[in-house]
Structure 1
Amino acid sequence: MIHEKRLDAYVQLRDELRNLDPDGGIRLHAWYRETKCFAFVNRSRAGYVIAVHRVKKAKKCMEVPGKRLDFKEFGSLDDAASFLESIAASPFEAYLY
């Protein structure tokens, strides 16, 4: 089982991005190209990797990742954080895992 920590605000997201372990990640609820989606953030040697997946409904009204819509790489914290801020859903909802 994966333990998740809820992030309550964009400021907290930025702090967690700065301290993100290579084996950890962040899941952000987002809107991308007018589509409800999840953005998954991981750290790489070169910076940050963000995979954006469409939200798919599963049994019992659970939302799960569906088809990948985009894959982006950012060399800096500022660039990754700026992209995430631009697609973040309102109300803000993100989780560290």
Structure 2
Amino acid sequence: MLPAALALLPMCGRYTVDGEWGRLLACAFQAPHTSDVPLTVAQRAFLRALADRDACWGAAADSASWLRAAGLPTGRAGLRELLARAPPGTR
């Protein structure tokens, strides 16, 4: 699924959270993330691509509810901090 998600992400934006990237996030995190379980390689790749996509962030984006449901920080800076401190998973 990762190749498809990464291919779709460049077309997503702050107005497509509910219809596109929020649903991709929910697929990547079928159970909420917890600090005792490392992110998988696929999860890290998706989160990095999401954090790097300027168009997905801004006042119109309702990203907080999707991120919260996935057990993730609710903002872009928080995602970047998580990626910087979390060791890469091996799954």
Q: TM-score range by the shorter chain?
A: 0.3 to 0.5
TM-score calculated relative to the size of structure 2: 0.32
- Greater share of residues in strand: 1
TM-score calculated relative to the size of structure 1: 0.31
- Greater share of residues in helix: 2
Query: Which protein shows a greater Rg?
Result: 1
